[in-house]
Chain A
Amino acid sequence: MNKLNEILFFVMVFILQLVISDYLHLGPWISLSLIPFFIVSISLQRSPQAVMLIAFGLGIGLDILSDGVVGLNAFAAVMAAAPRKFFYRLLVNSDRQDKTEILTPRDAGFAKYLRYLGIITAIYMAAYVLLDCVSFRPAGFMLLKFAASTVASTALCLLPAFSLQHRN
């Protein structure tokens, strides 16, 4: 996949995220997000600072263009982006030679990719639910929302991940 196609692909995924945010309503228990997919898919050659800035840009862009509270997705995205490298080394590739630029399930192996994506999504959702609900909602509600949103968003993120894999 050439660079232009790659950019177009990610723009399409972002538009899909906007449509999901604005028109797919699953009730107060589940928040769906594709931002963890973006965070996992940012080039492995990028520095942690660049990853955080890109994640922040994606989050704030989503907040502004969709019907969310400005800052909510940005906060969660930066929280998930910051430890990305650490979890990548821990769960996917512990040697320091990154052969691929954009990680796909095929490159990492499905089980490893799923674990890695799941952890990034869990961090994202923990930050999101905490900032959205803390001091207003009971802990049980927050825990349930966190669990349901993490599972649903991880499954959703696998769709563009596999699509990306087939395009490469």
Chain B
Amino acid sequence: MKSRYGLFSALTAIVLFIVLETFSIVMVVKEGVVQRYKVLGAVRSVESWFWERTSKVSYYFNYKTENERLTAENLQLRQQLSRYAAAQAELDSVVRIVEPMYTFIGATVIRNTVDRQHNFLILDRGSAEGVEAGMGVVTSRGVIGIVGAVSRHYSYVKSLLGTDQSVSAKLAGSGAFGPMVWTGTSPDIAQLSQIPVHIQAAPGDTVLSSGYSTIYPPDIPLGGVVSSTVSQGSSQVITVRLFEDFRSLRNVYVVKNNRKEEIEGLYEQAQ
């Protein structure tokens, strides 16, 4: 009788172990972090409120660096604007005005992690400001991530510093492109792969976003080439030092692709 009870106990323990572990793996695979944000909306809202206040404190100590960065970015944008204004005046006479492909929503980072394998950010803009899941997040110095979930006034962004994130990137000179992923060791370093071996990539060359997706605009500077190695004899893996310092992120832009539905509709038609 006792041995039967022991056998039954062992069997239930094994079954329970399998059930709990399977349940855990399913949650991990199904991106539980986004689900949690949706399910625990109220808890997240309280946390977001708290993070917003703590981020203001940390910003106070970094405002000088941030201010200098924004001034430089502003100067660069003004120079670009003056060039575009001149070109636009000429174009207006012959070309009809079309809706721009991308519009940007300014946002402030109130929470940011950089030391995990699945990093994330919380922004102080949500559905009320037009942010939707699937939109890209960028700065003038790089791609930051993709919006995973939104509440009314906050959004959760899956950082580029994550095991499951990649951005289509190209070498500025040759235009050769491939997926760029974070290496997982330092928030500054990523790897651009699938670059043909005949393409020359010298240290210091700039890597840009390719724009071959509906998420990120093209030609955003992402980083500089550090080194390259040949992988499996057929392509190069290029180590890239990212321009953006993820540790001190503050102001970002959420990207809305105004033609996303049209492009995706085209894919569906083709299939």
Contacts and interface: CB of A to CB of B under 8 A. Distances in A.
Considering residues B25, B31, B36, B120, which has the most beta carbons from chain A within 10 angstroms of its beta carbon?
Answer: B36
Contacts of B43: 65
Contacts of B12: 49
Nearest to A51: B13
A72 B28 contact: yes
B25 A48 contact: no
A70 B29 CA distance: 9
B17 A71 contact: no
A67 B23 CA distance: 19
Interface residues of B, number: 33
Nearest to A135: B163
B24 A78 contact: yes
A69 interface: yes
Contact of A64 (B16, B40, B115, B118): B40
Q: What is the interface of chain B mostly: helix, strand, loop, or mixed?
A: helix
Contacts, number: 94
Contacts of A161: none
Contacts of B20: 52-53, 56, 74, 78
A74 B27 CA distance: 10
Interface string A10-26: 00000000000000011
B114 interface: yes
Nearest to B181: A136
A28 interface: yes
Interface residues on A, range: 20 to 34
A24 to B, nearest CB: 9
B33 A69 contact: yes
A137 B9 contact: no
Interface of A: 25-29, 47-49, 52-53, 56, 59-60, 63-65, 67-72, 74-75, 78-79, 82, 131-133, 136-137, 141
Given A49-B13, A70-B33, A74-B24, 11 more contacts: A25-B114, A48-B13, A49-B16, A68-B118, A69-B28, A71-B25, A71-B32, A75-B28, A78-B20, A132-B117, A137-B117
Interface of B: 9, 12-13, 16-17, 20-21, 23-28, 31-33, 35-36, 40, 43, 111, 113-118, 120, 163-164, 184-186
The 6 closest A-B pairs by CB, nearest first: A70-B32, A71-B27, A75-B24, A136-B163, A71-B28, A71-B24
